[in-house]
Amino acid sequence: MARKSNEETKKKGLGRGLGKGLEALFEESPQVQENEEVHNLSLDEIRPNPYQPRKTFDQKSLKELAESIKENGVFQPIIVRKSVNGYEIIAGERRYRASGLAKKETIPAIIRDFDEAQMMEVAVLENLQREDLTPLEEAQAYETLQKNLGLTQEEVSKRLGKSRPYIANYLRLLTLPQKTKRLLQHGELSMGQARTLLGLKNKDEIDSLAKKVVKEGITVRQLESLVNRMNEKDSLQPKQKKIKKSAFIKASETQLAGKFGTSVNITENKKGKGHLAIDFSSTEELNRILDLLGINLDK
């Protein structure tokens, strides 16, 4: 009974601030409304919701659903809206994808009239209710609502039935560097580990520390202690004043990066002495750069 109560509470929270049209999408068995009918639409006419926050779908569960559809068909119609060229999915993208895997040509669908704002909200809400999103996808969904609907964090939290700190914590994940984001997206890092990494003062160390966390299986509590020690060590080190790069140095970096096809960094001290660094990611790339410089180590 407790589980059922929690699910009901979750639905009520997610439905807060929504109109009846949106709430109807999250009923266990949405009924065909008055003057509506179920259409058998061609899969070729249907496109996914352009605001779908979920980037990856579990292929194993899709194949299982496809096998069920082969045997029994699609019991619950998907919800679509008419677009300029065919239809766009409002709810039911898993059924649509599985039907394609099952080699079905048509799918039962209910056509409803939704605007852009409702499409965005439904895309987020449907996935949140089913807990299908990774932490990063959830964060990107909140950012989409903010940017495209012009909402504040407070307004997003009210519309989705979440607390403002909850929304803020997810949005902070978007400030992680790309390599760490990939680890989070693929489930190698947990939400707790990612949030702890954000507490690192030296942001340049996040990627290397994230890699260490995954490799050594460091827990959130262990990571908190490690981040605190690294922050204390960083605060004790004298901070070096950055020397602003001249327009000539910046232009030189750009020209060299274009020539070598990789990142180039030039640093210069107050005495006019400098350092030139050319990045490469493999032995093959190093050999390519050496060829461009006219250096042949075989001779």
DSSP-assigned beta bridge partners for residue 268 = 274
For residue 25, what are the CA distances in angstroms to 52, 160, 255? 15, 15, 55
Residue 79's φ and ψ, nearest 5 degrees, are -110, 130
Active site residue: 88, 93, 121, 137, which one? 93
Dmax over CA atoms of the chain, in Å, equals 84
Sign of CA dihedral 187, 208, 180, 153: positive
Q: Would you call 27 a catalytic residue per the annotation?
A: no
Rounded CA separation 120/124 (Å): 6
DSSP-assigned beta bridge partners for residue 88 = 47, 81
Rounded CA separation 124/81 (Å): 17
Rounded CA separation 204/221 (Å): 22
Residue 79, C-beta contacts closer than 8 angstroms, at least 6 positions apart: 25, 30, 89, 90, 91, 92, 109, 110, 112
Is 173 within 8 Å of 135 (Cβ atoms)?
yes
Around 39, how many Cα atoms within 13 Å sit in the side-chain half-sphere? 15
Report the first-to-last Cα separation within the chain, whole angstroms: 79
Is 213 within 8 Å of 222 (Cβ atoms)?
no
Active site residues: 93
